[in-house]
Chain A
């Protein structure tokens, strides 16, 4: 059974995403709205991590380590300026997308297993991940023209 691999991917992915939000918050402190919301979303991801704890305990957790395999790398650093912010938002979008589709895969398995606890965990967390994606997309759409056309 490979569910443990996916639970591990999710558990690790939410933690990585939380760290990434924190890093963007610190690196773009002058972008007040981005910084403030990243603080909120980092806390949300950590809440997801703790909601996953009993699931991890039940199924175990297999962390994928081979670099060519799908797993979320922590962001090395943040960039600066308008284009830098755009690129960092894209990185966050990629990480959040990975988390989102992992939730989807786990949800499918949870239904097949008829695991009510796991179904409840996904139902509580994945809608918030979807809002995170929508927020990142909203920010990206607003920031792109200025960054790509007129930013210094």
Chain B
């Protein structure tokens, strides 16, 4: 294998639309370990949302390597740099191996019995004193279905608290919200195989080359063969995607909605609407057309700050390509009017009927590998099986399934979203917060406030994780959890492919699986159903999966046909049931959507304000299987002001995942991007007297960080900071986390925080002591490469786009 730090996407295996995507098995083994000496355990990579099938190499009871699964439909054997190197974190010496309890202000080793007793005593006390609304759960995009579902049942049927959400709120909430608003329910319509045959790919705020490297390799393989797809990239940064695109629209941050309304207006002007399909399969066209009419090309070009001819060319590509795939990620989800914008991408496809057909569809991407499952299972802000909180029959179904009083299940309003959970904790009405597998002290907006909330003595904080983090430092109880490869469970990726990850090795020390921890809590709390039987009637992953399957029966995400045995042979796409025993490649092939009033997951919202639509209102226009073309006007935001003239966006780099809890402990990944930086456009840098490698102060109204400067290729007037870097491995102890700078603002519909739109200023502090630690072969590439940087920047691209 080549050095996959330099060669991010690996060797090209070109193919045309008529040929299958070739197999290329990527393998990494510890030095000195031969393939003959290892056994292979089927699993799935959980270091990005792509969900590549893989096998873990085990020797002597330890993980010693990994390889992609050739038979897996997602990756055909490939793995990205994070997948190839990230597993090594499991063997890191600083794993959490004993429960910790804060005593006299210091986290002290304890036994499981002491830790769980403290938790249940506190929990019982608060329930008696204030009821279930005193409890909040903030989980992750990293657990398995079995763990999420168990947590969901505990919270929703055992305790009865609506305060459950995941960090999926930060990464994927808008994808779900947009599906619900347009199609009536969550559920990714498309399939990765559509990329193999499509004629055009639109990537909105989606730096796929860094966030899903194997999916990008799939596209690079098309670009390297005859009849490649045409790419259109919307991103203020000059990413590798932008380099490969025919049209790059580096729009002004915050203007997605204007651009998308403009594209819809162009589509109508170019007479590309499939009126028969629209009449048969959608409602709302007249409103949509009326709104779009207010966005003529020149006006949109002016708002977005890109040439009108480029927008026009993008519209022509969309209207003339026989098939189109669109993908969307954080550049939309974490910006102004997130849900409204994501809905317009769906609308563009509906207007041409480009959905549910080979090569045509949508990938409203997820940020994390198991984010989809948090959305499905009820551990987060939705009810299990895409059920509608406002539909009494759906609540009755859950009450029957769990054998509890329907009123036990909180359904008087939508579940409390993460930002509001922290607000209630701040106000002192949530007094027990259980944080599982995530690190809000680095990943949430306005970190000074988050630290203050978590450190407040009124709040009892439980943190369940594999490693010490910035968040465990603020906990009252720390529970050591088993990692990937140390427990069994299933998860579902962006194109609905369900994978099984088998336990390969034992967790270290006394660490336990999340499922065991939740079951222990349920038992100690003596949570029971209406007949006095234990509420959680399962004790192992397969039992939890069986319960989950039953919960999905007849719902859009039907898992009833899936077994562990079937998954050991490779991934399967839901819905999988008696009617579709091998799974389902695409949704909505018949143009029928789950919008009927008795089926839909939500009655929807006004896209501008987030005002809920009532069941009575919905009944009046019951779409009954037709999709909804919802729209809104662009709401101008101009975050920059006199004191803060620049716009700060935050984001990801290819070598790290989330807050680097794992990737920062894999040597190759850490060395590739060991510290944070700030990217400044080359013209801005000249004007501000900043040079490559300088140390700069970046300030917003929320805070300040000191970072080395990368003079880069982003849009003038914008600066970029990767959000991965907290303080746990920071030798300098200077503030450096991007989220110190970000204000608490969220989308009115999806409640996803807005990380990509802060007013900032930057000042030179002096020359830096070291070269800026930013990768040179990605969107972070220097604008004017120095010779050494240029070599690194060119290397990987020669084999690629």
Contact = CB atoms under 8 A, between A and B. Distances in A.
Interface in A131-152: 131-132, 134-135, 137-138, 141-142, 145-146, 149-152
B609 A41 contact: yes
A82 B130 CA distance: 15
Contacts of B609: 37, 40-41, 131-132, 134-135
Nearest to B613: A134
A146 B608 contact: no
A37 B610 contact: yes
A132 B610 CA distance: 10
Nearest to A41: B609
Interface stretch (B183-191, B424-432, B471-479): B424-432
A132 B748 CA distance: 13
B419 A138 contact: no
Contacts of A30: 423
**Which of B414, B416, B423 has the largest count of A CB atoms less than 10 A from its CB?**
B423
Nearest to B744: A32
Contact-size category for A: 20 to 34
Interface string A28-39: 001111001100
A51 B340 CA distance: 26
A150 B429 contact: yes
Contact of B606 (A134, A141, A142, A152): A134
A82 B427 CA distance: 8
Interface in A65-103: 81-82
Nearest to B751: A33
Given A36-B745, A82-B427, A131 B611 contact: yes
Contacts of A31: 423
A95 B145 CA distance: 46
**Which of A33, A131, A132, A141 has the largest count of B CB atoms less than 10 A from its CB?**
A33
B699 to A, nearest CB: 21
Q: Which secondary structure dominates chain A's binding surface?
A: helix
B608 A150 contact: no
Contacts of A37: 609-610, 748
B606 A135 contact: yes
A54 to B, nearest CB: 21
A30 B743 CA distance: 11
Interface residues of B, number: 31
A33 B429 contact: no
Q: Which secondary structure dominates chain B's binding surface?
A: loop
Contact of A149 (B133, B419, B613, B746): B133
Given A37-B610, A142-B413, A32 B134 contact: no
A142 B162 CA distance: 10
B296 interface: no
B606 A33 contact: no
Contact of B429 (A36, A40, A82, A134): A82
Contacts of B416: 142
A33 B746 contact: yes
B771 interface: no
Contacts of A141: 412-413, 612
Nearest to A152: B428
Contacts of B606: 131, 134-135
Interface in B606-633: 606, 608-614
A32 B746 contact: yes
Contacts of A132: 609, 611
A86 B333 CA distance: 30
A32 B612 contact: no
A150 B130 contact: yes
**Which of A30, A82, A131, A138 has the largest count of B CB atoms less than 10 A from its CB?**
A138
B180 to A, nearest CB: 15
B748 A33 contact: yes
**Which of B412, B612, B635, B745 has the largest count of A CB atoms less than 10 A from its CB?**
B612
Please provide the 7 A-B residue pairs with the shortest distance between their CB atoms, ordered closest to farther.
A135-B611, A134-B611, A138-B612, A150-B429, A142-B413, A135-B609, A150-B133
Interface of B: 130-131, 133-134, 162, 412-414, 416, 419-420, 423-424, 427-430, 606, 608-614, 635, 744-746, 748, 751
Given A141-B412, A145-B162, 8 more contacts: A31-B423, A33-B419, A33-B610, A33-B751, A37-B609, A137-B611, A150-B133, A152-B429
